[in-house]
Amino acid sequence: MTAPALQTTRRCPYAPPDEHTRIRDTDSGITQVTLPSGQVAWALSRLEHIRAMLTDPRFSSDRQNPNFPRFTREQPNFGLMRPSIIQLDPPEHGPARKAVVGEFTVRRMAGLRPRIQQIVDEHIDAMLAGPRPADLVQALSLPVPSLVICEQLGVPYRDHDFFQARSSALLSRAVTNEGRQQAAKELRDYLKDLIAEKAADPTDDLLGRQLTQGNDPEDVLSLAFLLLIAGHETTANMISLGVVTLLERPDELAALRKDPERTLPAIEELLRVYTIAEFANSRVAVEDVEIGGVTIRAGDPVLALSNAANHDPSAFDEAEEIKLDRGARHHIAFGFGIHQCLGQNLARMELQIVFDTLVRRIPTLRLTTPADSLRYKDDAFIYGIHEVPVTWDDPA
Amino acid sequence: MTRIVADLDRCVGAGQCVLTDPDAFDQSDDDGTVVVLRDTPADDDAVKRAQVAVDICPSRALSLTE
Ligand code: HEM
Ligand code: SF4
C-alpha cells in the first residue's frame, strides 16, 4: 500500500486539515504519509507522542540528514553555512544554545519593554495619521518584530526590505528551490559582510557581543541567519492572526481592555489554536524507537502534526473551542524539548504590548472585510494572513 | 516536604518556569539556565505551580522530591 499524500490545507484558520484530525483519532494516532518531497514519513498527531519524540535523543534535528522530512525535493542552504542551533543535536546543541540564550531570558526581555512600547506607539501613531482603511500587516505586524530583532541583533533596519523579501521567499512553499537557494545565498552574503564589519569594529548588540565573547564568526553567521528568519515572520503572523481573532470577539476585547491580566493567557490560547509553525517539530529517527505501539526505524522521517496535537481532545478540554482564558500552557506551538523556541519570551512580550496598546488606543478598531474572506497563507511554512484591512472612528 | 530539584545540564533556558512562578524561579544572566530561588514551596498553591513548572519544562530539567 502506498502512503497517502500529506494534506496541508486547513479546514479553517483555527482547525488542522481534516486528514490530520482523522489520523489523530485513529487507534494509534500514527500513520505513514507521502510528503511533497516523495519521502514516506511517519505522521505523529497526538500531544503525548510528539512531546515524547521531542524529548527523546534517538530523534535528530539534523536538517542536512537526507531523511529529514522535507516539503521540497532539495533543501536550500546545503553547504551554505555551518549548521545553526536549530539543526544541532546533543552534545553540540547545549553549549551552542547556552552561548546565546542569556540574551533571551525573561528578565532581559522585560528590559526591552520600554523600547518595544515606543516602537509600537510610533507605528500606531503613523497608522492613525494615514489613510483608512489601513493594512495592519504593513502598518504594524511586520515592521514591529522586524525593527525589534534588527535592533537586538545590530542589523541596520534600513535594509529591512532586502531581508524581508528574502525571508518570505525562504518560508514560502510556492517559491522554487532555486529561488529559495538564491534568497538564502543573498541573505548569507549580506550577513557575512555585516559580521566582518562588526569583527573589525565591535558593536554593543547581540551579534557584536557574540563576537567579542570569542565565538567563531562562522557560527555567529549561522546564528544571525537563524534569528533574523525565525524572529521575523513568526511574530508578525501571530500579531495579524491574533488581532483578527480579537476583533471578531468584541466581548473578549472589552474584557481585555478592562483587565490586562487577561492578555498573557489569551496569547497562549492564540498560539495553541493557530500553531503557526505546525511542522517545525519534525525529526528524523537515528535509532529504532517505539512510540504508541508503532516501531519507527532508524532513518525514518517523522513529521509532527503539531496543529492536530494542539487540538488533541486527550490533552485539552473542548480542544476545538477558542477559550481565551483557558490558561493552558502545555501546547507545543513553541515546540518542546531542547529546541523549544529561543525567542518565545520576546514573542510573548511583543504580542502583549501590541494587543494591549491596540485595545487601549484604538477602541473602535475593526475589520473592513469579514475574517473569512481574508487571504490566509496556506502556501507558507509559517501560517499567517497576507493583509488585514482595518479602520477606526475619529476620536470623539 | 516537597522540594524542587533543577538539573542545570538539561536546562535550555526557555524560561517557562519563570513565567509559571517568578517567586520560585529565575534565570542566570550568563547562560539563561534556571536559578531556583525557593526550593521548598510555601503552600499548596506554590506546590501546584511547581507541578505545572515540572510538566511544562521542555527539557525535563525540573523535578519534585518528597
Ligand atoms: C510567535 C512566534 C514564534 C513561534 C510560533 C515560534 C516557533 C518555534 C518553534 C515551534 C520552534 C521549535 C523548532 C524545533 O523544535 O525544531 C522554535 C525554535 C526557535 N525559535 Fe521560535 N518561534 C517564534 C518566535 C521566535 C522569535 C521572535 C525568535 C528570535 C528572536 C525565535 C527564534 C527561535 C530559535 C533560535 C529557535 C531554535 C532553538 C533551538 O534549536 O534550540 N522564534 N520556534
Ligand atoms: S522551564 Fe526548564 S528549561 Fe526552561 S528555564 Fe526553566 S528549568 Fe530551564
What was the pLDDT predicted at A30?
A: 97
Nearest chain A Cα to B14, which residue?
A342
Are residues A237 and A382 in contact, defined by beta-carbon separation less than 8 angstroms? yes
Specify the ligand 1 atom closest to the Cα of A85: 40
Best probe residue, ligand 2, of B4, B9, B11 (max atoms within 8 Å of C-beta): B11
Q: Which residues contact A203 (CB under 8 A, 6 or more apart)?
A: A154
Nearest to B19 among A103, A106, A336 (CB): A106
pLDDT at res. A170:
83
Q: CB-CB: which of B19, B22, B30 is closest to A102?
A: B30
The protein residue with its alpha carbon nearest to ligand 1, atom 37, reads: A86
Q: Which residues of chain A register pLDDT less than 50? A: none
Q: How many CB atoms lie within 10 A of CB A55?
A: 15
**Chain A residues close to B22, C-beta within 8 Å:** 106
Distance from C-alpha of A322 to C-alpha of A311, rounded to nearest angstrom: 10
Instruction: Indicate which of A338, A346, A349, A351 best probes the interface with B, i.e. most B CBs within 10 Å of its own CB.
Output: A338
Domains and CATH numbers, chain B: 3-65 (3.30.70.20)
Report the SS3 class of residue A381: coil
pLDDT of residue A381: 84
Q: What is the pLDDT of residue B15?
A: 95
In degrees rounded to 5, what are phi and psi of residue B55? -70, -40
Interval A287-344: pLDDT, tens: 999 999 999 999 999 999 999 999 999 999 999 999 999 999 999 999 999 999 999 9
- The share of chain B scoring above pLDDT 90, in percent, equals 92
Cβ <8 Å between B31 and A102: yes
Name chain A contacts of B55, Cβ cutoff 8 Å: 330
Q: How far is CA A388 from CA A139, A243, A248, A380, in A?
A: 10, 9, 13, 17
ipTM value of the model?
0.93
Asked whether residue B5 carries a pLDDT value surpassing 90, the answer given is yes
The confidence score (pLDDT) of residue A348 equals 97
Question: What is d(CA A149, CA A229) in angstroms, rounded to the nearest whole number?
Answer: 10
| Each residue's pLDDT tens digit, A214-225 | 999 999 999 999
Calpha distance A342→A51 (Å, rounded): 17
CA of B48 to the centre of ligand 2 (A): 17
pLDDT reported for residue A17: 94
pLDDT computed for residue A75 by the predictor? 67
Nearest to A340 among B12, B30, B33 (CB): B12
Alpha carbons A215 and A198: distance in angstroms, whole number: 13
Please list, in sequence order, all residues whose beta carbon lies within 8 angstroms of the beta carbon of residue A109, skipping any fewer than 6 positions away: A345, A346, A348, A349
pLDDT (0 to 100) of residue A284: 98
Q: What was the pLDDT predicted at A78?
A: 56
Q: pTM surpassing 0.90?
A: yes
Task: Name the grid cell of A149.
Answer: 530583532
Say how many residues make up chain B. 66
Contact between A102 and B28 using a beta-carbon 8 Å cutoff? yes
CA of B54 vs chain A CAs: smallest distance (Å): 11
> CB neighbours of A9 closer than 8 A, spacing ≥ 6?
A17, A378
Nearest CA to ligand 1 atom 11: A341
What pLDDT was estimated at residue A262? 97
pLDDT for A343-364, tens place per residue? 999 999 999 999 999 999 999 9
pLDDT at site A168: 81
Residue A346 makes CB contacts below 8 A (sequence gap 6+) with A104, A109, A112, A148, A152, A231, A235
Contacts of A287 (CB under 8 A, 6+ apart): A58, A298
CB–CB contact B30 A55 (8 Å): no
